[in-house]
Amino acid sequence: RQGLPFLDSSKDGTTHWVEIAKTKISYNQTNFTFEFGKFDRQWGSSTHSILISNKSPSYPQFGFDWDITSNLRFIYFHGFLKSQIPDSVRADTYHGIGKRSFDLPRSIAGHRLEWSPTSNLTLGATESVVYGSRQIDFHYLMPFTSLWHMENHLGDIDNAQVGLDVSCAIKENSKLYFSLYIDEWTPEWTFKNTNHNWFAYQTGFNWKNIIRKFDKLTLEYTWTDHRIYRHRFPVNNYYSHGYPLGFWAGPHSEDVYVEYHASILNSEITLRYSD
């Protein structure tokens, strides 16, 4: 389930509260959609994505979705995250009676290309970058330029990621999928004890209409390295409101997830197991 943006304690009392707000405005053409607002998104075929997931609370963003051809799709977005790192430069501005804090800016840009060479096979490639200390960087507003390249062009001060995924429909009612998330990688060190294999991977299986019509079984396995989602400069961590933007359990995790969902007598029944 999506994380809650727990706010600070009451400015005048001892309680805490949560505010949840989502809105999205879309402009749609035949093969193109532009959208902006405060919402969440998820990339990939898995239930709990390791790439871009809807685990973190919604955040302001804008972007577009373009069906270039019938089997080729391109997605781009730019979002504004919650770093929860106080901005010491502005600390003296919001003090006195009823002190307030102002966080350092943290933003994310990402794009994704999906290609379906056949009706039952979809390949996906994603790039994303998290950057801080400035509200918006023009370099990351160019949707079709490699974000990894731009991050290096700016002096390797930001946090870039790459993701690959594939989904294959075995039959009309079943699908296999696999995802790979690459945070850092030095190819020549791949098989050394000291390496940059900061990876996460995930594989899963969906099966519909097993026992009765419209029921669904999901099996999913996820493994994440202990070094992913974090950065040498904490302002660039792959987090918003304290939640990872990818896999819900964050780095250094391993999870086996099983879910069965069915509609019985006008009721929805869902059984879940996670370990």
Give the pLDDT of residue 20: 84
Q: For residue 175, name the pLDDT band (cuts at 50, 70, 90).
A: very high
Give the pLDDT of residue 225: 94
What pLDDT, in 10s, does the model give residues 34-48?
Answer: 999 999 999 999 999
Average pLDDT in the 143-152 region?
Answer: 95
Q: What does pLDDT average to over the chain?
A: 91
Q: Does pLDDT of 246 surpass 90?
A: yes
Burial of 135 (0-12, 13-18, 19+ CB in 10 A): exposed
Residue type, 195: N
Q: Quick check: 114 and 126 in contact, CB under 8 A? A: no
Give the pLDDT of residue 267: 87
What pLDDT, in 10s, does the model give residues 184-233?
Answer: 877 788 888 888 888 999 999 999 998 888 899 999 999 999 999 999 99
Give the pLDDT of residue 140: 98
Give the pLDDT of residue 98: 63
Residue type, 233: F
Q: For residue 176, name the pLDDT band (cuts at 50, 70, 90).
A: very high
Q: Long-range contacts of range 95-101, CB-CB < 8 Å, 24 or more positions apart?
A: 98/11, 98/12, 100/11, 101/8
Kind of pairing between the strands at 243-244 and 32-39: unpaired
Length of the chain: 275
Give the pLDDT of residue 115: 98
Nearest-angstrom CA–CA distance, 258 and 256: 7
Encoded tokens for 66? 């373009």
Helices (H) and strands (E) in the chain, counts: 1, 14
Nearest-angstrom CA–CA distance, 152 and 158: 8
Q: How many CB atoms lie within 10 A of CB 81?
A: 24
Phi, psi of 170 (to 5 degrees): -75, -45
**C-alpha torsion 244→128→113→188, nearest 10:** -100
Which 8-state DSSP code applies to residue 92? T
Average pLDDT in the 240-266 region?
Answer: 93
Residue type, 249: A
Residue type, 216: K
Nearest to 220 by CA among 207, 211, 210: 207
**Global pTM value:** 0.91
Q: How many CB atoms lie within 10 A of CB 44?
A: 27
Q: For residue 11, name the pLDDT band (cuts at 50, 70, 90).
A: low
Residue with tokens 């062009």: 153
What structural domains does the chain harbor? 23-274 (2.40.160.130)
Q: How many CB atoms lie within 10 A of CB 204?
A: 21
Q: For residue 6, name the pLDDT band (cuts at 50, 70, 90).
A: low
Nearest to 240 by CA among 20, 51, 102, 54: 54
What pLDDT, in 10s, does the model give residues 62-97?
Answer: 999 999 999 999 999 999 999 999 888 777 777 666
Give the pLDDT of residue 99: 65
Q: Which residues contact 159 (CB under 8 A, 6 or more apart)?
A: 129, 130, 131, 151, 231, 233, 236, 237, 238
